[in-house]
A and B are shown apart, each in its own frame.
Chain A
Amino acid sequence: MLLKLAWRNIIGGGFRTWLNVFILSVVLVAIIGFHGLYVGWQRDAENAMIDWYIAGGQYWQHNYDPYDMFSFEDSRAPMVQSIPDADAVEFLVGQGVIYPQGRMINIILRGVETQQNLLKLPTDKLNYEAGKYKLMLGSRTAARMKLNAGDKLMLRWRESSGSFDAAEFEIVDVFITTVLSIDQGQVWLSLQQMREMLGIAEQVTCFSVRQYAGDLGQEWQFKTQDDLLAEFRAVFATEIAGGIFMYILLIFLAMIAVFDTQVLALFKRRKEIGMMLALGVRRQQVIAIFTLEGLLSGLLAVVLAAVWGTPLLLRFQETGMKLPEMMDSYGMDGLLDAMYPQYTIPLVLITIVIVMLILFLVSYLPVRSISRLLPVDALRGKMTKKKRS
């Protein structure tokens, strides 16, 4: 009976009700759309990192710290022979100096196994040819240094024994990736080339594997996908925190509308409340009717959002959100030219549940005062409340 009454009331509300419902549906679609962008961004970034660099995890020589250049020279060890070639991609990490347009820039050198199918890195372009110096680099680094495929680039390095040497390299490829950690501040050489340059044989710094290959002793530490993605996820969490602020703002605006409607209804319908109380309807039931009205608005908003929001969000998922060029230098993985949202059932359900819960609160809070309303005064159109005993 209460539900029926509440339903009649909100339908009877006419334009005011539908305006509220529409605003709520916009908020729902906006939150799902924006959060979908974050989810899609994270998914794309993590997939790209796995496809381009991490694979099924990595083994690091125990001294290797990618953020400590001092560790590079002491973090090399002979490659583990028990892992089949097809299941691993070896990397050798070092330092050098490049001279694009005569400027002097410190750079990380990454030697990589060229014959591999495990990663998307276009390593075949680096195929070793004696006497030919080849390197490739990511599009961001290339753009910053104004370099293109086919250009020549002078590179200076220091052999493991300590001697300086330099050579002119040909840039054989500029690859485009969303993975910053294999692009910024580094150039890629063939593993064989780099070993020759440094004067070291059979040594590697780390290697990606198709899957966990067991404990390889103290020399090698296994890093799972989660370990290797942890840093990105931590940075990403701060990005999401910024997004949550926007959700709160959107919800706040919608809830203000609902709260306002409830307060107004309470004032305009005081005679109706008095009548109900006089007819023997319990105060809690009156409160329930008003609260239900708010919740039903929410449910109507969910239906309306599904009607106009679903095709819009699906289209958005297809076309993605084009990013301005400056976003390329934003310093986050997964951003290149566009962001493609991803919507999951938990995302939609959680958003609806959160909005409904908040809706319940803002529908209930203004009408609590009914419990202290004097029926006779209410019938007269007065809002006199019982004094608290």
Chain B
Amino acid sequence: MKTVILTVLMILISAGLWSETADEILRRIDDNLYSDSQIISSRMVIEGRRGSREIATRTWSHGSSDSFTEYLSPPREAGTKMLKLGDKLWIYDKNSDRTIQMSGHLLRQSVNGSDLSYEDFMEENIYQDRYTAVIEGEETLLDRTCWVLKLIAKEAGTTYYQRKLWVAKDIYMPLKEELYGESGTLLKRVEFSDIRKVKDRWYPYEIFYKDILNTKGKGTTLKIDSIDLDAEIPECVFSKASLRK
């Protein structure tokens, strides 16, 4: 009898430990990826059926809810701006000199033909706030030992109900992520690479997105050229007035 009780206790304790550890891992990931403010210069390489296109942008972010993106190239896209304030998104088109608020089905459209939708842009990016995690096991990925975490949305309405993360144990950085619907259908795959140390945290300089359902597309790679974490950004950047400047 004692043996049974001890075994049950061990299982409960270890489960509790796993749970705590999973939450801790999520916290450490957020510490790596999330900063109060950041300025990122990046290039989005969209691999299509007819070759690849590259779009250069500069993004100013404040917290996880506000961001301002300016397209720098190619010339056709340069000058286009995107402002996200909480759950609202505006796009300024320099050619028509008009600002459009994206809502409803427009948010489901792909961003410039990439594997990212505007809704992906709208997502809050702090894992701890939105998901509960459990460790499913360990695997080796890119020569690193990883925890395999299964994340379930805490609230209904989270864009992706389930996620699966492969997190490098040594640096608390996801190397791969799979995004699922509630039915368990795999919707997107994300791969993080070229991980570099930035100040006191790790950050992926290359992120590959693949819309699994869109089998014709070959994926989209976000290449970061420079990143300035915890940068000082004036509040006026995150206003609709900035779109026309």
Contact = CB atoms under 8 A, between A and B. Distances in A.
Interface of A: 69-70, 73, 95, 97, 99, 101-104, 106, 154, 156, 158-159, 161-168, 199
B215 interface: yes
Nearest to B119: A164
A70 B156 contact: no
B183 A167 contact: yes
Given A106-B105, A158-B108, A164 B187 contact: yes
A101 B103 CA distance: 28
Contacts of A95: 105, 108
B159 A163 contact: yes
A156 B117 CA distance: 13
A173 to B, nearest CB: 23
Interface in B145-174: 153, 156-161
Q: Which of A99, A102, A163 has most B Cβ within 10 Å?
A: A163
B214 A104 contact: yes
B213 interface: yes
Contacts of A101: 215-216
B74 interface: no
A73 B107 CA distance: 14
Interface string B46-62: 00000000000000000
Interface in B174-229: 181-183, 185, 187, 211, 213-217
Contacts of A161: 156-157
Contacts of A199: 156
Contact of B105 (A70, A99, A159, A165): A70
Contacts of B110: 104
B123 to A, nearest CB: 11
B137 interface: no
B151 to A, nearest CB: 13
A164 B160 contact: yes
Interface of B: 103-105, 108-110, 119, 153, 156-161, 181-183, 185, 187, 211, 213-217
Contacts of B153: 163
B181 A166 contact: yes
The 7 A-B pairs with the shortest beta carbon distances in the complex, nearest first, are A165-B181, A102-B215, A162-B157, A161-B156, A161-B157, A102-B216, A70-B104
Nearest to A97: B108
Nearest to A133: B183
Nearest to A73: B104
Contact of A162 (B159, B183, B215, B217): B159
Interface SS of A by simple majority: mixed
Contacts of A99: 213-215
A329 B215 CA distance: 28
B185 A167 contact: yes
B108 A165 contact: no
A165 B213 contact: no
Q: Which of A95, A99, A165 has most B Cβ within 10 Å?
A: A165
Contacts of A163: 153, 156-161, 181-182
B19 to A, nearest CB: 23
B216 A166 contact: no
Contacts of A106: 105, 108-109
B11 to A, nearest CB: 32
Contacts of A156: 181, 187, 213
5 contacts: A102-B217, A162-B158, A165-B182, A165-B185, A166-B187
A165 B153 CA distance: 13
Nearest to A101: B216
Contacts of B183: 165-167
Contacts of B104: 69-70, 73
Contacts of A102: 214-217
Nearest to B160: A164
Contact of A166 (B109, B157, B185): B185
A165 B215 contact: no
B159 A103 contact: no
A103 B216 contact: yes
Nearest to A156: B213
Contacts of B213: 97, 99, 104, 154, 156, 166
Contacts of A73: 104
Contacts of B158: 162-163
Given A163-B160, A164-B187, A166-B185, 16 more contacts: A99-B213, A101-B215, A101-B216, A102-B214, A103-B214, A104-B217, A106-B105, A158-B108, A159-B157, A163-B158, A163-B181, A165-B187, A167-B181, A167-B183, A167-B185, A168-B185
Nearest to B110: A104
A159 B214 contact: no
Contacts of B182: 159, 163, 165
Contacts of B108: 95, 97, 106, 158
Contacts of B159: 162-164
A63 to B, nearest CB: 13
A163 B216 CA distance: 24
A87 to B, nearest CB: 33
A102 B158 CA distance: 25
A162 to B, nearest CB: 4
A167 B153 CA distance: 19
B159 to A, nearest CB: 6
A168 B182 CA distance: 14
Contacts of B161: 163-165
A163 B109 CA distance: 15
A240 B6 CA distance: 88
A22 to B, nearest CB: 61
A99 B104 CA distance: 20
Contacts of B160: 163-164
